[in-house]
Structure 1
Amino acid sequence: MRRTHLLLVAAFVTCTIGLFYGSYTYFKGQELDRAAARLTLYRSTAENELRHFAHLPFLLSLDSVVQGTLAGADPQILSVRLARFAQSAGLDAIYLMDRTGLTIAASNAQLPSSFVGQNYSFRPYFQDAMNGELAEFYGIGATTGIPGYFYAMPVGFTADGPSGVIAIKVNLSALQDSWQASGERIMLTDANGIVLLASEPEWRYKSLDVLTQQQRVLMASFRQFGQEPLDPLEWSANHFDQTADIGGQHFLYLSTKDLPNSWELHFFLPDDEAVTRAALTTGAMVLAAVLAIIALQIRRGRLMGEALRKSEDEEVLLRRANERLAIEIDERRSAEHALQKTQADLERAGRLAALGQLASSVTHELGQPIAAMRNQIVASEMTAGPSVLGEKMQGLVARMENITKQLKFFSRKGRDKFEAIDIEQIVTDALELLVPSITRADASIEVQNLKIPVLVHANRLRLEQVITNIVRNALDAVDGADVRQINIVTTTDKDRLYLDVTDTGHGLGDYTLDDLREPFATTRESGQGMGLGLTISAGIVSDHGGTITAWDNRAGGATFRIDLPCAPKDAVK
């Protein structure tokens, strides 16, 4: 089923893409047809602009005043006459050069940028005209710096050739301004691919292809483009697909070379409209298909709805039954969990109660014999002097007294006096008791205290016993380790106090804190302890309204945390 859905989706996407590209190709053809009509109009306009004054140089070459000036008449008269002609015809300039290329009369003779006295023999139009031809040339004015289109015609043929050359300069800026005003993108290039006119100013005087050194030298000798660098235009054209990219923008593209001087006119049209129309067409078709599918689905849904409604009642009943069953299962699980917890608590309470009775009997029955034994050993040492056997007996008696002291905890709950005590003082007292053990273990203990006293409502001796037990366990843990370091850190959070004892020992291993809190559970070797330390400590901390937690450290070792409530303000007072 899932594969069928994927195939249907893939087929739908493929059809949508195919429809879009088919529509785009169609509308692109329409846009290209419109572009071709616009290109024809622009080509006709450009050709008319270029040919509008083509006949004028020939007429001026026949003018008697022009010929008389070359024969020696006053050139000032001709300059005035040419100024009048230029103004009425709308030309940039009309000027007469002798056979050396020196300008002897010009329509702009009265202007600071006068051509009079300038030699233009380097211009191709002068050289071609001296060969008896009607010359044409586009270039940037060598005197004014203003580009224009030049026509030149020989004047006064003699046996040695023409006596001079009459030239006109046509300003094509009006043509370029009309392109810019139209909002369309057009450019006119010469035979070398140099952009002469363009609707986009940044395209002007760029080359469509990389110019050879020979081309650059030749154009420089004519001074055709002045100081323009003629850098390549950032463009590429696909004549087969009739598209082009200029400056990162994509266009539909047409061009024509049906212009004088092998010039080429380029027309660029954005394909946004074709894309938009293709997208709208595709969207409409997709929408129609989707609506048809929706209609079919609605009809199918109605048919299925009738069948589904028949099973809704049964489904509701089944759902309600499942909900009731889920509630019963949750209630039973909760009850079982509570029962297990209660049983565990009862078992632990029973063990502790039995331990309390045993502890009371043992401490009572063994207290006097142990004291008598110690007295007998002391009397023997006073009479016969110290001996190896006496020292061993002293050790055994001390161990039995330590056992009875631990057992007394279970037979005297609830008879301790509580007071507000500084936890740091309790830590200090506990560490003083453990100095021999710390020295024997060759361990380093670092205590990080708070800057201010932190008080807890506790029994000093019992809380000191807890800290002593936990630190002693840490000393046992680091025994034999490469690094024997124990850190004791005190922190607070609102009305809670945390005392962390961290060691670099072997960690908790496979044991949990609950395992270690069981009476007589120990990780020490036989004879090294009864396994009551954590049991006693947990009971003392619980009596103080706190808890003991423990965890393994990532770097090794374990941390035991004592969590106690801070002393209330009235207790501090």
Structure 2
Amino acid sequence: MDIKFAHFSIKKSHRQLLLVGVTSSLILILWLTGHWSRQIALENLQQQNQHQLRLFVANLQGQLEKYEFLPELLATNTLLINFLQHPNDVKSITALNRYLETINKVANASDTYLMNAEGWTIAASNWLSERPFIGRNFAYRPYFQEAMKGKLGRYFALGSTSNKRGYYFAYPVRDKQEILGAVVMKIELLGFEESWSAFKEEFVVTDPDGVIFISTNDEWRYKSLYPLNKSVIDRIHSSRRYGNARIGTLSVVNKDRLSEQAQVVNMGDPRKSDHLMLVQDMPEAGWQVHTFASLGVVNSQVLKSLLFAAILYIAIVLLVLYVYQRGRRIKERERFERRAKQVLERRVKERTADLTAANIRLLREIEEHRRTDETLRQTQDELIQAAKMAALGQMSSGINHELNQPLAAIRSYADNARALLARDRQDEASWNLEQIGELTERMAKISSQLKVFSRKTSGQIVSVSLQAVIENALKIVGPQLKDTETELHRKLPQEELYVMSDMVQLEQVLVNLITNAVHAVELQAERWIQIAVSTKQGKAIIEILDNGPGIDPENLGRIFDPFFTTKSEERGLGLGLSISYRIVEMMHGTLTAGNREQGGAVFTLQIDLADLN
């Protein structure tokens, strides 16, 4: 008992050591994986946002450079110099205001105005607005002070009159070496925030004091990234740079510095995700452009890497255990397989005889199904041909009428020709013979329509012209339309449409639908039928409309059933619509029936358009 107990204790100790080793290895691998994946994810995020930051800065610099030279160019205009020298010239003030207004519109600037040496605005592009700049003193603005020193003044601030954010360019107006005043142009930078607000990253632009004045986050505007001294805040208020806006603080907390331009920061709320902050200077304007990208994607990548490493490590451990267990069970499995093989061989022999007999029965059934399908197809073709013959019988009265007229005319022309020949009037007799020839050709065309209609289908689905099919069908039902005095309206597209169908069968469907429409309107005072063709989503849509009484709603669900008809027996057996439905179904199309709100029935045929590419 003591020996067994000691052996059990040793095994238990080995299992505990193995568990500790596996757990320690997992912790170490996860730590290394997390650290490595975070560094890579931060580098990728930094590269991506560095590119976005360069684009933003380039866009902003391009916008400023587009206007930078305009004040200097305006300062050389003699109209401005003369007015500063003679400010009381009433005639030139209107011309100067109009000139500044025109320049402002052409440059698409916010405001353009002229200031004298004391800082008073004496001409402005907004001279006709409700709150013009004329008569206002902006000497306290730094851009005016820089211009009066002979430099190009640049300044971003809220307009003291308009209360709109804008960037000011000011340039001195000189007469030789004397500075007479300054010309100022203000541009608005609203478009940057709107165009960049769709990005996941936040973009901000700070002034030399670190106050945000352009931001894709409205809540950050007029706040500093770091706490400001009271003297700095007093100086901002005294210059009226941001009007009455309250200067707040975002309290950015630096956590991890990656480089001179990149560091991980927290926006003052430890519960929120950290951000990667990138910075780029704009020395000409004295600004700094920042981009803040949430580290959510970095944390997500780290989590994925940790999960993958844990799964991979566990998979390796399980694989090792599996290989170990598999080695123990191979022999047992081999014994089981030998026994199973013997049982299987015996069962295979038993089942082989059953399967052979079942296979013979199955082959016989397949052959019987094939013969049945062939008989069904042949019967269906014969039904279609029988329907054609029935339609020919229904059209016989109209065709007889079409043939009787030329036959009577031929007899009359023949009698005339014989009498004229007896009188030796050959020219007149020849004309009568020509008329007989034309009438014979007309009768041949009528008979050819019957031949085309009665021909058998090829059974192949090919690309055919829809307009040609419609024209052939109308030639066949033409005598019926004429005999019943039914008007035919067509709404066909100008371009040729090609559909995938059997031309003969599609003609049969259209003949059936048009013939039914003729029967439907025969009791109306004014009779008309309309054929409308359109396309939608790769389908050709053919609508046959009439102004008849429509279809009884109770019959709409049965109208395509075989032998269902509301007509008399001499009009048919009720197979036309049923056969038409099957034909369209074989061509992978649809045929539906309904009633129009204005009255009358509508049959809609949808069939695939041919791909001619």
TM-score (norm 1): 0.51
Counterpart among 302, 305, 310 of residue 286 in structure 1: 310
SS at match of 2:198: helix
Alignment of 1:342-381 (within 5 A): none
Give the deviation of 1:291 after TM superposition. 2.3
Give the deviation of 1:153 after TM superposition. 0.9
1:436 alignment counterpart: none
8 Å CA contact 1:251–1:270 kept in 2: the answer is yes
Alignment of 1:181-220 (within 5 A): 181-220=198-237
Q: 1:283 and 1:181 mapped to 2: Cα distance?
A: 32
99-108 vs 299-308, greater mean Cα deviation: 299-308
Alignment of 1:63-102 (within 5 A): 63-72=77-86, 73=89, 74-102=92-120
Aligned-residue RMSD, C-alpha = 2.2
Give the number of aligned pairs: 308
Would the alpha carbon gap of residues 50 and 291 (structure 1) be closer, same or farther in structure 2, given more than 3 Å must change?
A: same
2:536 alignment counterpart: none
Counterpart among 22, 28, 40 of residue 42 in structure 2: 28
Q: 1:105 and 1:133 mapped to 2: Cα distance?
A: 21
Q: Moved runs in structure 1, 4+ residues, more than 6 A?
A: 306-309
SS at match of 1:261: coil
Determine if the alignment matches structure 1 residue 302 to structure 2 residue 316: no
Aligned partner letter, 1:250:
D
CA deviation string 1:87-128 (max 9, x = no partner): 111100000111111111111111112111111111111111
Q: 2:313 and 2:227 mapped to 1: Cα distance?
A: 52
Aligned partner letter, 1:283:
L
8 Å CA contact 1:61–1:155 kept in 2: the answer is yes
8 Å CA contact 2:53–2:291 kept in 1: the answer is yes
8 Å CA contact 1:43–1:259 kept in 2: the answer is no
Counterpart among 38, 42, 58 of residue 44 in structure 1: 58
Give the deviation of 1:271 after TM superposition. 2.1
Unpaired runs of at least 5, structure 2: 1-12, 334-613
Counterpart among 106, 131, 138 of residue 120 in structure 1: 138
Alignment of 1:82-481 (within 5 A): 82-157=100-175, 161-238=178-255, 240-241=257-258, 242-248=263-269, 249-305=273-329
Would the alpha carbon gap of residues 286 and 245 (structure 1) be closer, same or farther in structure 2, given more than 3 Å must change?
A: same
Aligned partner letter, 2:274:
H
8 Å CA contact 2:207–2:213 kept in 1: the answer is yes
2:384 alignment counterpart: none
Q: 1:102 and 1:200 mapped to 2: Cα distance?
A: 36
2:544 alignment counterpart: none
Q: 2:114 and 2:323 mapped to 1: Cα distance?
A: 91
8 Å CA contact 2:113–2:124 kept in 1: the answer is yes
1:319 alignment counterpart: none
8 Å CA contact 1:97–1:165 kept in 2: the answer is yes
Q: 1:47 and 1:172 mapped to 2: Cα distance?
A: 11
Tell me the percent identity: 23
1:521 alignment counterpart: none
Counterpart among 6, 18, 21 of residue 7 in structure 1: 21
SS at match of 1:254: strand
8 Å CA contact 2:71–2:185 kept in 1: the answer is yes
CA deviation string 1:295-319 (max 9, x = no partner): 221222234457999xxxxxxxxxx
210-219 vs 50-59, greater mean Cα deviation: 210-219
1:434 alignment counterpart: none
1:501 alignment counterpart: none
SS at match of 1:253: strand
Q: 2:66 and 2:253 mapped to 1: Cα distance?
A: 33
8 Å CA contact 1:155–1:165 kept in 2: the answer is yes
Would the alpha carbon gap of residues 239 and 19 (structure 1) be closer, same or farther in structure 2, given more than 3 Å must change?
A: closer
Give the deviation of 1:279 after TM superposition. 2.8
Q: 1:259 and 1:200 mapped to 2: Cα distance?
A: 24
Give the deviation of 1:287 after TM superposition. 2.4
SS at match of 2:299: helix
Aligned partner letter, 2:157:
G
Aligned partner letter, 1:209:
Y
Q: 1:210 and 1:260 mapped to 2: Cα distance?
A: 25
Give the deviation of 1:39 after TM superposition. 1.5
SS at match of 1:139: strand
Alignment of 1:529-544 (within 5 A): none
Aligned partner letter, 1:122:
Y
Q: 1:209 and 1:282 mapped to 2: Cα distance?
A: 35
TM-score (norm 2): 0.48
Q: 2:252 and 2:126 mapped to 1: Cα distance?
A: 40
1:357 alignment counterpart: none
8 Å CA contact 2:227–2:251 kept in 1: the answer is no
Give the deviation of 1:282 after TM superposition. 3.4
Which is greater in Rg?
Answer: 1
Give the deviation of 1:261 after TM superposition. 3.4
